[in-house]
A and B are shown apart, each in its own frame.
Chain A
């Protein structure tokens, strides 16, 4: 067993992960809070109004980060699903359920804020175009994972079912991302590209990047904090979990 494999299995051990997550929480939570506060302030107050969409464009400061997180979380769930099926790591199994909660929330907010943007800009709340429809399917996939987890009483059996759905459903992620290029959609193209100069000035896109990074760090904080509780419940018969509870750590 090489060093990489040993490290991988050590982090997959519930007590090691529990302690690591506890130490990582402040390093994620405080930067997330600062970035979110500053990014939202800069986006809502300091950024100039768009020359075509006016102040209505400011919805992107919550819509785009929520949509990015909805794709990122599902992709990470598919990776966790592979780890859960191949190596049967409890940490990966716990991640699937707790990540799906946040993923469903971000997808719902991306859809709702998109509708609130669509009404004044397109003149309609909803169209069945490829981007909106594939994002709605993503929400159903998240709800499917949560429903499977609730429906099966045995945790390992539920985790296997959730892992399979996460892996199969990940095919929808590139469809959501590339739908605006593959099909003629009413939804506009990507707001920011890794390879092209941004179409908006720095005073508009820097706050967007701040909110997006802050949301990502906040998600990291959320999932680690929630997983600590879930791991304790899953490991409640183990001596380390009982010791942690009695110490109040």
Chain B
């Protein structure tokens, strides 16, 4: 395991790259879901205000 994590001496270059990529995908997933939820919440509050 420690050999795998060491990445043949390139760990300080490989893992930050993987982290940036996975971090971007996670941010995209959370952002897409929260954007849609915020839109629904905003429309509902406008509708309830109008009612």
Q: Report A's interface with B, CB cutoff 8 A.
A: 36, 40, 44-45, 49, 54-56, 58-59, 61-63, 65-66, 101-102, 105-106, 108-109, 112-113, 116-117, 119-120, 215, 218, 221-222, 225-226, 228-230, 232-233, 236, 241-242, 244-246, 248
B10 touches A120 (CB 8 A): yes
Q: Which residues of chain B are near A242, meaning CB under 8 Å? A: 43, 46-47
Given contacts A105-B24, A218-B28, contact A59 B42 (CB under 8 A): no
Q: Which residues of chain B are near A62, meaning CB under 8 Å? A: 17-18, 20-21
Q: Which of B4, B31, B40 lies at the interface centre, i.e. has the most chain A CB atoms within 10 A of its CB?
A: B40
Kindly provide the distance from the CB of B24 to the nearest chain A CB, expressed in whole angstroms.
5
Kindly provide the distance from the CB of B16 to the nearest chain A CB, expressed in whole angstroms.
6
A56 touches B36 (CB 8 A): no
Kindly provide the distance from the CB of B34 to the nearest chain A CB, expressed in whole angstroms.
8
Could you name 26 residue pairs across A and B whose Cβ atoms are closer than 8 Å? A54-B10, A55-B9, A55-B10, A58-B10, A59-B14, A62-B18, A62-B20, A63-B17, A108-B24, A109-B21, A112-B20, A116-B16, A222-B28, A222-B29, A222-B31, A225-B35, A226-B31, A226-B32, A226-B36, A228-B39, A229-B35, A229-B36, A230-B35, A230-B39, A241-B43, A246-B47
Extra 13 A-B pairs, beta carbons < 8 Å, given A120-B10, A245-B40: A55-B8, A55-B10, A56-B8, A56-B14, A62-B17, A112-B16, A116-B13, A116-B16, A222-B31, A225-B33, A229-B36, A232-B36, A246-B43
Instruction: Tally B residues with Cβ within 8 Å of A.
Output: 31
Closest to A106 in B: B24
B17 touches A117 (CB 8 A): yes
Q: Which residues of chain A are near B16, meaning CB under 8 Å? A: 112, 116
Q: Which residues of chain A are near B37, meaning CB under 8 Å? A: 229
Q: Which residues of chain A are near B8, meaning CB under 8 Å? A: 49, 54-56
Q: Which residues of chain A are near B25, meaning CB under 8 Å? A: 36, 215, 218
A109 touches B32 (CB 8 A): no
Q: Which residues of chain B are near A119, meaning CB under 8 Å? A: 13
Kindly provide the distance from the CB of B4 to the nearest chain A CB, expressed in whole angstroms.
7
Q: Which residues of chain A are near B4, meaning CB under 8 Å? A: 45
B18 touches A102 (CB 8 A): no
Closest to B38 in A: A229
Q: Which residues of chain B are near A108, meaning CB under 8 Å? A: 24
Given contacts A55-B7, A62-B20, A106-B24, contact A117 B36 (CB under 8 A): no
Option from B10, B32, B39, B40 in Cβ contact (under 8 Å) with A222: B32
B18 touches A40 (CB 8 A): yes
A232 touches B24 (CB 8 A): no
B40 touches A109 (CB 8 A): no
Given contacts A54-B10, A120-B10, contact A232 B20 (CB under 8 A): no
